[in-house]
Structure 1
Amino acid sequence: MKVGSLKLKLQLVCGDAFALGPGKADLLDAIDREGSISAAGRAMNMSYRRAWLLVDEMNRCFKERVVETAIGGGSQRGARLTEAGKAALADYRELERDAEALAERPSLKRLTLAVRGTPIASETS
């Protein structure tokens, strides 16, 4: 997320992996809206394999699964966010809103004024 001249990327770390970040949060939103991992991936121009790997990583990182899948036919097939997944997504989105509020901080305004629009040429000798 870009707030003025400041770029913030909120990522929840799990060992060497990321349990949740902006892309995974968007994927959770898409799964919630579309009702399946494959449809969510298509909506995000992402392959099913990539979407599935991201869901698998999130499920392995959180203590409780964030996405639950049901295979087979009928109305029960597809994927849905678990209660833990809905809570994690809501908390992440709240943190994003909190981070956007940084734009009003005087320290950010001072930093923004102190930074050039583009870098100057290198002064190497």
Structure 2
Amino acid sequence: MAKLKLTLVLDSGARIGPGKAALLESIQDTGSISASARSMAMDYKRAWLLVDSLNKAFDTPVVERTTGGAGGGGARLTPFGQDLLSRYQRLQGAVTKLATDDLAAIEQRALPEAGPKV
């Protein structure tokens, strides 16, 4: 079935889409940027750049890192980061629900093989 992928584009040009939302969810679950990167088959540097871009996009950090110690370092979503992720997920759900009938109608007309993606 056809699906929508929601990307929020802020006036600053910063973007929040399915990839960054999935990374935030994973950080929330694992407490680690590196573990999240590994679970998403993503290089740590890429994951850190995505987190850093989110932190720079707002007046409040989205993710906080903790320095190493006996148990090593970690990361967690700030209260604002949790709110941002929750709002993104809510918007994604609402958009998907709103579009269900239209997506189904469009998908009925789609060919099984679309040819090259351009």
How far is 1:10 from its partner? Answer: 1.1
How many residues in Structure 1 have an aligned counterpart in Structure 2? 114
- CA shift, 1:67, in A, is 0.1
Name the % identity: 43
Aligned counterpart, 2:36: 40
Q: Where does residue 55 of structure 1 map in the other structure?
A: 51
Letter in 2 for 1:36: S
Cα drift, residue 16 of structure 1: 3.4
**Which residue number in structure 1 is paired with residue 97 of structure 2?**
101
Q: Which runs of 4+ in 1 moved over 4 A?
A: none
Gaps (5+ residues) in structure 1?
Answer: 121-125
Deviation, structure 1 residue 38: 0.6
Gaps of 5+ in 2: none
Is 1:87 paired with 2:83? yes
Is 1:117–2:114 an aligned residue pair?
Answer: no
Considering Cα pairs closer than 8 Å and 6+ residues apart, tell me whether 1 or 2 has the greater RCO: 2
RMSD of aligned C-alpha atoms?
Answer: 2.6
TM-score normalised according to structure 1 size: 0.77
TM-score, normalization by structure 2: 0.81
1:119 is displaced (CA, Å) by 8.0
> Could you say which structure has the higher strand fraction?
1
Aligned mate of 1:16, from 10, 13, 17 = 13
